């Protein structure tokens, strides 16, 4: 059984991943680059995802070796401490190329019996 902390972290990752996807829904890269409010909202969602990923137990992360956990958990530090170096193109690629795989893994974990999903 997952701890409450880990279970809540899974839900936070799922929810904030969906928020980030909704925020950029219908936007082109160029529109995203011009829309500061959306860029800031997406960065905040990614910060929460990064912090929540730190709360996942190593055995859960080990079930998904295809994911770059170190990069996921470290991304929040970049967003917070190197905020002046965060480029829209990088964030856009993260949303389109990396986030879907993470959300798929998180959905699988939520469906596991240890979370309370179907056996």
Q: How many helices (H) and strands (E) does the chain have?
A: 7, 0
Classify residue 118: in a domain, yes or no: no
* Residue written as token pair 């770059």: 68
Classify residue 38: in a domain, yes or no: yes
Q: What is the mean pLDDT of residues 67-92?
A: 86
Q: Tell me the pLDDT band of 115, cut-offs 50, 70 and 90.
A: confident
CA–CA dist 56, 3 (Å, integer): 9
Percent with pLDDT over 90 in the chain:
79
Classify residue 22: in a domain, yes or no: yes
CA–CA dist 99, 17 (Å, integer): 7
Classify residue 63: in a domain, yes or no: yes
Task: Examine the pLDDT at 67 and tell me if it is beyond 90.
Answer: yes
Classify residue 13: in a domain, yes or no: yes
Classify residue 92: in a domain, yes or no: yes
Classify residue 90: in a domain, yes or no: yes
Classify residue 71: in a domain, yes or no: yes
- Domains in the chain: how many in total? 1
pTM score over 0.85: yes
Q: What is the mean pLDDT of residues 77-98?
A: 84
Q: Which domain holds residue 81?
A: 4-111
């Amino acid at each position: 059984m997952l701890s409450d902390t880990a279970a809540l972290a899974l839900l936070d990752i799922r929810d904030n991943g969906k928020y980030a996807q909704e925020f950029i829904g219908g936007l082109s890269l160029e529109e995203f680059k011009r829309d500061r409010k959306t860029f800031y909202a997406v960065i905040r969602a990614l910060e929460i995802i990064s912090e929540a990923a730190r709360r996942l137990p190593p055995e859960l992360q080990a079930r998904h070796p295809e994911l770059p956990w170190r990069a996921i958990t470290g991304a929040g530090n970049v967003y917070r401490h190197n905020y002046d170096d965060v480029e829209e193109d990088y964030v856009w690629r993260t949303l389109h190329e990396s986030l879907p795989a993470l959300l798929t893994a998180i959905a699988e974990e939520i469906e596991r019996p240890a979370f309370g999903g179907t056996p």
